């Protein structure tokens, strides 16, 4: 909590200092170009796992309530075994409400082709360009064929120290570096920090194949760190957002608020508001 207070005070103090600083004598005053909205052109959404205890209607209402317009859809809001008609109906309902399904997942791809094909058809029927996923690295060669057939990008989700497949973005890279460029990253900033890796540096390093980002904060930069409201933890979210702006990120960065599953809206709203405030100081 103390760290969060320091962050907020630094943010406010920096803004006041800049606002009150006079131009140097004889110096032309150059105003920066206005950013593209409060998120500087970034596409910011909600990972539907945030609303895992609720149905689709609550997910839609919660996403709109915090001022966001896109989601990464998890299976509890649309089962992988659903029929194509059901998938398309859910996609239509989301879009009619002003919420775009820009990715889905995390999808845990099986080691069999019927299951893999179903997951790609699911993503296609939803109209999402990205599938956030995890899989046995042994099948990555097979996935080359599916991303080419469906023209869908795979964003491998790193799940931190407990993930025996993909603990960090660098481990993901070792698996995918010689494969189709449509196979890339979903960098989870919280799990990345828990694994001892700076998530902002990881974003810059793997920018060319970064297709999705999970936004969150953690209370400790260690394996047992837990998630909490953005701004209350130790993660440098300003550096993360600045890195996304720097690389002109065109995927979706989605808030995955894992705390308070029975009542996620207040914490999600706090997280969105805090990060929107941080964007004031990002150039």
Question: 219: which 2 tokens?
Answer: 């209370």
Rounded distance between C-alpha atoms, residue 99 and residue 27, angstroms? 46
Return the ∠ at Cα 187 (arms to 152 and 66), rounded to 5°. 90
Name residue 212's beta-bridge partners. Answer: 186, 252
Q: Could you tell me the CA-to-CA distances from 178 to 46, 76, 120, 157, 208 in Å, in that order?
A: 31, 33, 21, 18, 14
pTM: 0.88
Rounded distance between C-alpha atoms, residue 201 and residue 210, angstroms? 13
Rounded distance between C-alpha atoms, residue 274 and residue 280, angstroms? 11
| pLDDT per residue rounded down to tens, the chain (283 residues) | 444 434 443 433 433 333 333 333 333 334 445 457 999 999 999 999 999 999 999 999 999 999 999 999 999 999 999 999 999 999 999 999 999 999 999 999 999 999 999 999 999 999 999 999 999 999 999 999 999 999 999 999 999 999 999 999 999 999 999 999 999 999 999 999 999 999 999 999 999 999 999 999 999 999 999 999 999 999 999 999 999 999 999 999 999 999 999 999 999 999 999 999 999 999 8
pLDDT at position 146: 98
Question: 123: which 2 tokens?
Answer: 């993503």
Residue 45 CB coordination number (10 Å): 23
pLDDT at position 121: 98
Rounded distance between C-alpha atoms, residue 119 and residue 233, angstroms? 35
pLDDT at position 35: 58
Please say whether the beta carbons of 126 and 90 come within 8 A. Answer: yes
Please say whether the beta carbons of 105 and 186 come within 8 A. Answer: yes
Q: Domains, the chain, ranges and CATH? A: 2-10+34-281 (3.20.20.150)
pLDDT at position 9: 39
């Amino acid at each position: 909590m103390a760290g969060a207070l320091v962050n907020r005070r630094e943010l406010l103090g920096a803004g006041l200092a800049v606002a009150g600083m006079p131009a140097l004598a004889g110096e032309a005053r150059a105003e920066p170009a206005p950013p593209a909205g409060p998120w500087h052109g970034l596409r910011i959404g909600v990972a539907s796992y945030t609303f895992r205890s609720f149905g689709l209607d609550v997910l839609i209402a919660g996403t709109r309530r915090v001022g966001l317009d896109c989601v990464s859809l998890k299976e509890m809001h649309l089962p992988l075994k659903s029929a194509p008609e059901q998938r398309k109906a859910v996609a239509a309902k989301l879009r009619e409400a002003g919420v775009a399904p820009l990715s889905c997942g995390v999808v845990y791809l099986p080691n069999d082709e019927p299951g893999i094909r179903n997951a790609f058809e699911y993503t296609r029927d939803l109209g999402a360009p990205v599938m956030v996923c995890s899989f046995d690295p042994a099948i990555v060669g097979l996935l080359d064929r599916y991303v080419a057939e469906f023209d869908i990008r795979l964003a491998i989700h790193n799940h931190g120290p407990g993930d025996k497949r993909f603990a960090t973005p660098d481990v993901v890279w070792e698996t995918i570096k010689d494969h189709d460029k449509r196979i890339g990253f979903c960098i989870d900033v919280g799990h990345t920090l828990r694994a001892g890796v700076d998530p902002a540096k990881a974003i810059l390093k793997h920018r060319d194949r970064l297709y999705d980002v999970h936004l969150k904060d953690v209370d400790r930069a260690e394996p047992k760190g837990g998630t909490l409201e953005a701004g209350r933890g130790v993660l440098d979210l300003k550096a993360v957002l600045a890195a996304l702006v720097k690389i002109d990120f065109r995927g979706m960065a989605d808030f995955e608020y894992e705390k308070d599953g029975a009542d996620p809206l207040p914490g999600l709203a706090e997280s969105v508001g805090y990060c929107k405030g941080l964007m004031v100081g990002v150039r």
